[in-house]
Amino acid sequence: MRSERVKKGIERAPHRSLFKAMGYTREELDRPLVGVVNSANEIIPGHIHLDQIAKAVKAGVYMAGGTPMEFSTIGVCDGIAMNHQGMHFSLASREIIADSVEIMVMAHGFDALVFIPNCDKIIPGMLMACARLNIPSIFISGGPMMAGRYQGKAVDLSSVFEAVGTVKAGGMSPQDLEELEECACPGCGSCAGMFTANSMNCLTEALGMGLPGNGTILAVEAARIRLAKHAGMKVMELLEKEIMPLDIMNREGFENALAADMALGCSTNTVLHLPAIAYEAGLEMDLKIIDEISSRTPQLCKLSPGGAHHIQDLREAGGIQAVLKELAQNQLIHSQALTVTGKTTGENIKDARVLNREIIRSVKEPYSPNGGIAVLRGNLAPQGAVVKQGAVDSEMMKHQGKARVFESEEEASEAILGKKINSGDVIVIRFEGPKGGPGMREMLSPTASVAGMGLDKKVSLITDGRFSGATRGASIGHVSPEAMEKGPIAAVREGDLIRINIPERSLEIDLSPEEIEKRLKEVKLPSPKFQKGYLSRYSRMVSSADQGAILKSEVK
Positions marked active-site: 468
Give the span between the Cα atoms of 201 and 181, in whole angstroms: 25
Polymer length of the chain: 556
Torsion of CA 42, 44, 46, 51, to 10 degrees: -20
Instruction: Report the Cα–Cα distance between both ends of the chain, in Å, rounded.
Output: 40
Give the span between the Cα atoms of 417 and 446, in whole angstroms: 8
**Strand 381-387 to 374-378 pairing:** antiparallel
CA quadruple 268, 271, 277, 281: dihedral positive or negative?
A: positive
- Do the beta carbons of residue 390 and residue 372 sit within 8 Å? yes
Laid out side by side, the sheet with 33-38 consists of 67-72, 33-38, 112-116, 137-139
Cα angle: 260, vertex 262, 268; to 5 degrees: 115
- Do the beta carbons of residue 228 and residue 53 sit within 8 Å? yes
Half-sphere exposure of 100 (CA within 13 A, CB side): 17
List CB contacts of 471: < 8 A, sequence separation 6 or more: 158, 305, 388, 391, 443, 444, 447, 448
Give the span between the Cα atoms of 361 and 356, in whole angstroms: 8
DSSP 386: E
Give the span between the Cα atoms of 346 and 284, in whole angstroms: 25
Give the span between the Cα atoms of 385 and 295, in whole angstroms: 16
Task: Provide the 3-class DSSP secondary structure of residue 5.
Answer: helix
Q: SS3 for 235-298, per residue?
A: HHHHHHHCCCHHHHCCHHHHHHHHHHHHHHCCCCCHHHHHHHHHHHCCCCCCHHHHHHHHHHCC
Half-sphere exposure of 201 (CA within 13 A, CB side): 35
Cα angle: 480, vertex 481, 486; to 5 degrees: 145
Give the span between the Cα atoms of 314 and 193, in whole angstroms: 10
Give the span between the Cα atoms of 368 and 389, in whole angstroms: 10
List CB contacts of 328: < 8 A, sequence separation 6 or more: 335, 345, 346, 349
Q: Which residue type, as a one-letter code, is found at position 295?
A: S
